[in-house]
Amino acid sequence: MSRILIRGGRLIDPATERDEVGDVAIADGRVVALGNEANDFSPERTLDAAGHWVIPGLIDLCARLREPGATRKADIASEARAAVAGGITTLAMPPDTNPVMDTPSVVDLVNHRADMAGAARIAPLGALTQGLGGEQLSGMAALAAAGCPALSDGGQPVTDSLVLRRALDYASTFSLPGLLTPVDPELAQGCLSEGPTATRLGLPGIPAAAETAGLGRQLAVAGATGARVHFGRISSADGVRLLAGALRENRALSADAAIHQLFLTEQDAMDYDPRFHLAPPLRDIVDREALRSAVAEGVISILCSDHQPHDRDAKDGPFSSTAPGASGLDTLLALVLRLVEDRVLSLHQALATVTIAPSRLLGLEAGRLTEGAPADIAVVDPNKPWFCSTETLRSRGKNSPFLGWEFSAQVRHTLVGGRLVHSIAEA
């Protein structure tokens, strides 16, 4: 294993509130010294980080990689490489693959493909129920033994509340959090938030009640179990209010939002551009500001890309007939840093939402820049602008709603387990 010294960077770690200029010494895949303590380290390779930020590698809590089952859109290798180019060193992968990730054999396949790719780590999320059918519990003990750090409904809510209660109870016996999608499927029949914009465009609308109805039921069940429960992709002001009240009573709960929801609104879909067909749908500016406030106040503690790469055919056609979802790996860090530029979050707050917060939820070692931690690290030039275009996106999914945007920071180097897996030369 190589010995690498990252020299002279600004070391930023939200987990310890470290913020200082210094060195990082890496050996045997782990951080062995930081700051002045690295003075006596003899490296085999040195990375000059002067003027750059040295941060923990990002942990993306929700990234569909399309393998197994839909490799015409993307695969584990392509998306793991795209991730590290964007400073992401761990991808949490929902279980709604084909076949569903409800057995150790599918988990083993994913882990094998991730090892072959040699880029970002993959954290496979096991299915709460067999086939995500919402009827029979999955073999949670076997999934935990295979390496699943959490169990998820994979975007397909368990509609039988008794089954959900038993699933959360069972998951808690293995100390695994349950990741739920707060939506009532019967109310979520549409493609844009219900309101004036959907009416003007003649598109079927999804009311905020689709979120609050689903969330309210799941909160009640979660409260009856005492299990650790995480709610994914909160999108509405009503959902934030409901969640905030529940958090005051139950500290075992947490939530995340997709980063694009903090920048876009339903108005962005006015030209019927299918890149803005998302699930949950884009809502209005009141909802967007509520989400921003919720992140700043800690009601929503995690931001994720909700990465969903699609091929051209999936996004070609009338708005309502196209597949929902956006490609998000390439822009996650850039958008998180844009929240700092917009004075929504401090730099430490912003980075915590994509490093230590998801790490704690999943019980990972990564997500911190401390001695003894895995050397999962991103070196970022904060003054290197780049344009988001189909050419600059590393993901096979080019369906980004941020095409044409300019961002201010670029990842120069990424290390995973002490290996340099992404590097670009200085211009």
306 has catalytic annotation:
yes
Roughly what angle, to the nearest 10 degrees, separates helices 209-225 and 237-249?
10
The answer to whether 257 touches 303, Cβ cutoff 8 Å, is yes
Structure tokens at 159: 């509609």
Coil/strand/helix, residue 244? helix
* Sheet with 126-127, edge to edge strand ranges: 126-127, 151-152, 178-180, 229-231, 253-258, 302-304
The Cα 61–Cα 397 span in angstroms is: 18
- Nearest of 95, 108, 173, 84 to residue 134 by alpha carbon: 95
Structure tokens at 307: 């990465």
Given the residues 306, 330, 376, 381, select the one marked as catalytic: 306
Indicate the pairing of strand 406-407 with strand 386-387. Answer: antiparallel
DSSP labels for 62-82? -B---TTT-TTT--HHHHHHH
Residues 6+ apart with CB under 8 A from 178: 128, 150, 151, 152, 153, 167, 168, 171, 172, 222, 227, 228, 229, 230
Coil/strand/helix, residue 195? coil
Cβ neighbourhood burial of 86 (10 Å; 0-12, 13-18, 19+): buried
Indicate the pairing of strand 377-381 with strand 53-56. Answer: antiparallel
Q: Which run of H or E residues covers position 285?
A: helix 285-296
Indicate the pairing of strand 88-93 with strand 121-124. Answer: parallel
The answer to whether 223 touches 251, Cβ cutoff 8 Å, is no
Coil/strand/helix, residue 175? coil
The Cα 420–Cα 401 span in angstroms is: 30
Coil/strand/helix, residue 150? coil
The Cα 95–Cα 92 span in angstroms is: 10
The Cα 150–Cα 141 span in angstroms is: 11
Active site residues: 306
